[in-house]
Structure 1
Amino acid sequence: MKVSTRPLWRKATLFKGVVVTLASLAALTVQASPAAADDVYGKPVGGAILVKYNELDRETGPLGCPTSIELDNPDGVGKRQEFAGGTIYWSAASNAHPVWGTIGGKWGALGYEGGKLGYPVDDERTDPDGAGKRQQFQGGTVYWHPTLSNGAHPVWGRIGELWASYGWEGGVFGYPTSDEGWEEPYQSMTQSFSSGGLTLFWSPGKNDETSWCKQECVGYSGAAGTDWFKETRVETYVGTDQVKVRAIPTRNGFNNARTDFHGAWNQVWSMAPYPKGINQVEHRSLYEQFACHAAWAEERLPGDWNTGPTWDLESWLPSIGMEKAIDPVEARKHKCNWT
């Protein structure tokens, strides 16, 4: 058999050439893959951010062209990429969502993903009224309306739960017009809403003489004022169905409600919605307590009324009938707070 005299270095060269060629083909194949990343005007967009970017029509959509590469967030967990019209944020827990406009500005002012709201968990949505916008985040939802909301504001926690139970922005309270803020006289967090100057509040509660809520409570107040009343405040103790109503009379209210219980009652509820979940027995009891206060309010010293500055009505007190509620002898016994 004839033995080849081809030099070994030649064989090695040919083999090396094959390796180089295959490697080159592999590199071309990887670069051509559309799933890994896509260049848009020189900026690569990839992964879940690319998927969301494609959903929003890429550079022809509201985001426009990328203005940065993908960046790590300060928390060391999430990612973001900036575009001409907004920023897409991503984390494993929330997926990828864009943040922009007035809602994005409020979110940023509250600390971006490192703040109380956390990461966006949905895209910006149009509200059922066709005019307002909202975006949901891990810690709450930010709402905005061009004329009703006075900018963008987050709603969350106990106040958010109560607001939702009354119909969100389409309910009796309307859109939020402020962020939450602490109100020292009431020892509570309060938030203003667009309908009738209504305010929702939450208090951790404190069982002392200065506290309005003796335990954790949530509720709302209307302070638009009438001739006979300054404010109507409705408190619900968290974890119970117990409701306390506080009607705060003016001087005219103290003097005149005794002759027109029903008219005074209507003025109280012209400032705030009647509490949900009150049954007929509870309703009768509330009205009887109100009539009792109205009938027997007396000014002992200038500005000092025997009923106190507010007429407190408690849903858990039983109904005793109107006759007993306003009878002068009985009233001296129960003082409008029977058990």
Structure 2
Amino acid sequence: MEVSTRPLRRNAALVKGVVVALASLAALTVQASPAAADDACGKQVGGAILAKYDELGRETGPLGCPKDIELDNPDGVGKRQEFAGGTIYWSAASDAHPVWGAIGDKWGALGYERGKLGYPVDDERTNPDGVGKRQQFQGGTVYWHPTLSNGAHPVWGRIGELWGQWGYERGAFGYPVTDEYDAVKVGGNLAENTGVRQRFQNDRFLLWSPGQANAFETCHSECVGYLGVTNEPWVKQTEVYTNLGNGKRSVHVTPTDAAFKDADDDLQENWRQVWANTPLFRNATQTEINSVSKQLYCHAAFAFPSPGGGHFGGPTWDLETWRADIPWDSAEALRTQCNWD
């Protein structure tokens, strides 16, 4: 008996058509997903930028309406879209984040995503003081306060690490009031002792030096430090340095002319002036404090005028925390050891 194959062929053709239709639909779905977009104020916003825009309240949020379509960034990697209240930047490594206001202006002045800061990796945040703002980027963090920071300034690298150890803007140095800048006499007394400074509140500075053979011993190799301007009767400023290789610490006091005459009369008052606007080095032991205070006395008592001008011992009184704590047996005993060698 002959069996008809027509129904089977019809069914096969029908199944084939369904498969082709489903495949076409799947292809359309895959293609449409990355290009998902929405209309806002007559302009398209899509992808990760749309997700961030939605999160921030769309047109009624701080960004307002889009001013342009999504654009490729000059680095050929990321995307951006400008809105009335700021711009959202995106890259695969950083995700999408808005940049605006004084922090956005500083970021732009430093080269946008092609500058040292790179892409934003977080939204702008309010600092624990409830007033200041910060935003983290790939290469550092920009801080701003309406009255304390003198604009917006980035903090990064070794200086940023040291600032963080002291408690960020809530610590001893407060907000940055300048960007980092190249400076002389960093890590040593000579003009060729070059390094980096950054000024913070209350005439306090954080410092970095790559290390130089003619610098202070703690800065013969890479070191960080801080400086406080005191303008006290006996002390102009005090610097503290830490060698990042061996951990050695030293204190360098710049005395006034009056200090060479009178500072040895009252060691307690001299010590107070040294630390009047400079934080005492962190985790100081009593032995280190004793040693440094006695070295201070030695400099004040025996820095006699030099025949060639100035005073013996140089322009700063260098106090090294690793020196032994010499007993106060007698003035003469201390005097014979005041070179601390």
182-191 vs 168-177, which deviates more?
A: 182-191
1:23-38 equivalent positions in 2, closer than 5 A? 36-38=36-38
1:220-235 alignment, distance < 5 Å: 220-235=226-241
Q: How far off is 1:213 after superposition?
A: 2.7
Aligned position for 1:337:
340
Q: Does 2:200 match 1:193?
A: yes
Whether the 8 Å contact between 2:63 and 2:86 is mirrored in structure 1 is yes
State the alpha-carbon separation in 1 of the partners of residues 292 and 199 from structure 2: 26
- Secondary structure, in 3 states, of the residue corresponding to 1:175? coil
2:271 aligned residue: 265
Q: Which residue of 1 aligns with 2:74?
A: 74
Contact 1:288–1:321 (CA<8 Å) still a contact in 2?
Answer: no
CA distance in 2, matches of 1:170, 1:330: 41
Structure 1: distance between partners of 2:130 and 2:170: 11
Provide structure 1 residue ranges, at least 5 long, that are not aligned to the other structure: 1-14
Q: Could you tell me how far 1:85 is from its partner in structure 2?
A: 0.6
| TM-score w.r.t. length of structure 2 | 0.85
Note the 1:7-156 alignment, pairs <5 A: 36-156=36-156
Q: Secondary structure, in 3 states, of the residue corresponding to 2:306? A: strand
100-109 or 283-292: bigger deviation: 283-292
Unaligned runs of 5+ residues in structure 2 are: 1-13, 187-193
**Counterparts of 2:163 and 2:216 in 1: how far apart (Å)?**
27
Going from structure 1 to structure 2, the CA distance change for 1:308 and 1:53 (only over 3 Å counts) comes to: same
Establish whether residue 285 from structure 1 lines up as the match of residue 291 from structure 2: yes
| 1:35-88 Cα shifts (integer Å, max 9, x gaps) | 811111221111111111011000110001111111111111111111111010
Report the Cα distance in structure 2 between the residues aligned to 1:328 and 1:254, rounded to whole angstroms: 19
Q: Is the 8 A contact 2:221 2:245 kept in 1?
A: no
What's 2:10 paired with? none
In structure 2, what residue type is equivalent to 1:192? R
Q: Could you say which residue in structure 2 is the equivalent of 1:10?
A: none
CA contact (8 A) 2:253 2:317 kept: yes
Aligned to 2:11: none
- Distance change >3 Å, CA 337–CA 80, structure 1 → 2: same
Superposed CA offset, 1:74-128 (max 9, x none)? 1111111111110101111111100000000000000000000000000000011
> What is the CA–CA distance in structure 1 between the aligned matches of 2:223 and 2:236, rounded to whole Å?
21
* Structure 1 match to 2:259: 253
The match for 1:236 is 242
Percent identity for Structure 1 against Structure 2: 57
**Matched positions, count:** 314
Within 1, Cα distance between the matches of 2:25 and 2:44? 21
Question: Pick from 324, 328, 332: which aligns with 2:332?
Answer: 328
Distance 2:93 2:295 in 1: 51
1:231 alignment partner, SS class: strand
1:301 offset after TM fit, Å? Answer: 3.5
The match for 1:3 is: none
Cα distance in 2 for residues equivalent to 1:32 and 1:78: 20
Read off the aligned partner of 1:278 and give its amino acid letter: A
Aligned counterparts of 2:217 and 2:289: Cα–Cα separation in 1: 26
Displacement of 1:185: 3.3
CA distance in 1 between partners of 2:138 and 2:332 (Å): 57
| Cα separation, partners in 2 of 1:89 and 1:58, compared to 1, 3 Å | same
**Partners of 1:111 and 1:222 in 2: CA distance:** 31
Within 1, Cα distance between the matches of 2:33 and 2:155? 43
Matched, 1:300 2:306: yes
Distance 1:150 1:140 in 2: 18
Give the AA of the match of 2:339: C
Is residue 190–residue 199 contact of structure 1 (8 Å, CA) maintained in 2?
yes
Deviation at 1:329, TM superposition (A): 5.2
**SS of match in other structure, 1:44:** strand
